[in-house]
Amino acid sequence: MKVSIFILIFLVFCGCTRQNTDIKNQEKQPIEERSQKNMKITSQSFKEGELMPEKYTCDGANISPQLSFSDIPANTKSLAIISDDPDAPTGDWVHWVIYNIPPTTNELKENFPRDKELKDGTKQGKNDFGKIGYDGPCPPGGIHRYYFKLYALDIVLEKDYGLTKKELLKAMEGHIIAETSLMGKYKR
């Protein structure tokens, strides 16, 4: 009888310890891994890691590429995108800031309008060229990487159009459910 009680206590203790370990391991994971591992941003204009066509740059038509989103977390209230170049000589150079994109949006079409605010509530911020909307790659030379970072947020931002990247990142603090990115390159 004592052996049976000992085995039962041992089994209960092992089960509780394993469950606590699983919870602790889950808490160590970044929020985006816990809440949504599959969110994606892709483009028909270029593939991950490939050179971006000239028409999306200052050497071409300087229009925004097409972007598609998938597997957006169910509790998302809005989406945001920051596009930047970490290889710029002066440091990170921002090409596009856009936020309050409705979570039902699954695509931004090529040549997205430069409007400050769209009818659906989408707002655009100020890029490092000092303009609202998208301005494409325009590196002084060499190959640069251009990231299109997609953020799923648990709020709609109560901010006006014209936010900078820094201001948007501050406004999103504590509200990012998931994030992912797409990287294209450009060479002059």
pLDDT (tens, 9 = 90+) of the chain, 188 residues, equals: 554 544 444 444 444 444 443 333 433 444 434 344 699 999 999 999 999 999 999 999 999 999 999 999 999 999 999 999 999 999 899 999 999 999 999 999 999 999 999 999 999 999 999 999 999 999 998 999 999 999 999 999 999 999 999 999 999 999 999 999 999 999 98
d(CA 143, CA 139): 8
Q: What DSSP element (H or E) covers 172?
A: helix 165-172
Same domain, 119 and 171: yes
Same domain, 72 and 111: yes
Q: What is the CATH number of the domain that holds 51?
A: 3.90.280.10
Q: Specify the amino acid at residue 14.
A: C
Considering its fold, how many domains does the chain have in total? Answer: 2
- The tokens describing 37, both together, are 């591992």
Res 167: pLDDT: 98
CB 99 within 8 Å of CB 159: yes
Same domain, 65 and 24: no
The contacts of residue 40 (CB under 8 Å, 6+ apart) are 68, 69, 70, 71, 180
Segments forming the whole domain that contains residue 4: 1-33
Res 101: pLDDT: 98
Same domain, 8 and 74: no
d(CA 45, CA 70): 16
Res 37: pLDDT: 62
Same domain, 8 and 84: no
Res 2: pLDDT: 54
Partnered with residue 187 across adjacent β-strands are: 143
Closest by CA to 56, choosing from 91, 108, 122, is 108
| Chain position carrying tokens 């190959």 | 143
Res 8: pLDDT: 43
Supply the pTM of this predicted model: 0.80
